[in-house]
Amino acid sequence: MTTLAELSDRVQSALGDDGASTWTQAEIETWVTEAVRDYSVNFPRVASDTKDTTLNDQTYGLFDDFLGIVTIEYPDGQVPIKYLERRNHQSDLFNDTEGFYDVIIRDDEAEPATLIISEKPAAGQVIVIEYLAIHAIPSSGTSTLTIPEEHEHIIILYAIYQAWRQLTSKEMISPTSDSSQVMAEMNINTSTALKDYQEALQTAKDQKTDGGINENWLMDKWDGRDGY
């Protein structure tokens, strides 16, 4: 797998700035990290984790990287596997009824999303949660990225756009040349870099197979099924 530093080096090369004379490694790594966050919105990774139940407790905080539910298996170990269906927790048909769950997603980033199950569980049972997640946010140059290799060019193009955007902004604030042509060319380069990124992102979206995760990823495969 590719590290943050390795992908950032590729960005420097693509910019023709291998010696980091125009953009520092730290700047490039910041933009690559931003690109990972942006990429996650369009192509979240699928993760799996568990929650151990507490007696009669129907609510459980979800994970920091949580974006949306894929499946909820509860209780663990059933044959065949028992998946819960999503139902509005405010419905009269939710509480004390087996087989349902709901998720509350808050706008406040300090408050994690909350899973609610419809029945009061026994202690020590296991809820298996398969969910859509933000890709791993790199914390240092040696951090390994979870972006698929075939999509790394999207991350590179995002960073290139940000590099040109920064350079153009600096030139507008403190011109190094009196030539309006220089400024015009920099604006064109910035616009072209943005277009290249957007087109690469759209191409990747178009190439997603119909058998993949539903585009409406904040919901799940049960939503809207029974109208409750």
State how far the Cα of 19 lies from the Cα of 205, in Å rounded to an integer: 34
CB 126 within 8 A of CB 50: yes
Cβ atoms within 10 A of the Cβ of 81, count?
11
Continuous H helices in 22-146: 25-42
Q: Is residue 217 part of a domain?
A: no
Domain boundary among 103, 133, 163: 133
Digitized pLDDT (tens) for each residue of the chain, 228 residues in all: 899 999 999 999 999 999 999 999 999 999 999 999 999 999 999 999 999 999 999 999 999 999 999 999 999 999 999 999 999 999 999 988 999 999 998 777 668 899 999 999 999 999 999 999 999 999 999 999 999 999 999 999 999 999 999 999 988 888 877 778 888 899 999 999 999 999 999 999 998 754 444 444 444 443 443 443
Cα separations (Å) of 168 from 158, 182, 202? 15, 10, 25
29 & 51 share domain: no
Cβ atoms within 10 A of the Cβ of 113, count?
18
62 & 81 share domain: yes
141 & 33 share domain: yes
Domain boundary among 133, 153, 177: 133
What range defines the domain where residue 83 resides? 45-133
How many domains does the chain divide into? 2
51 & 128 share domain: yes
Q: Is residue 218 part of a domain?
A: no
Q: How many CA atoms lie within 13 A of 10 on its CB side?
A: 14
118 & 70 share domain: yes
Q: Model confidence over 15-31: pLDDT tens digits? A: 999 999 999 999 999 99
Q: Edge-to-edge, what's the strand order for the sheet holding 100-104?
A: 59-61, 114-117, 100-104, 85-86
25 & 100 share domain: no
Residue 201 in 3-state DSSP? helix
- The separation between the first and the last C-alpha atoms of the chain, rounded to the nearest angstrom, is 44
Q: Is residue 57 part of a domain?
A: yes
Residue 143 in 3-state DSSP? coil
Q: Is residue 212 part of a domain?
A: no
Q: Is residue 13 part of a domain?
A: yes
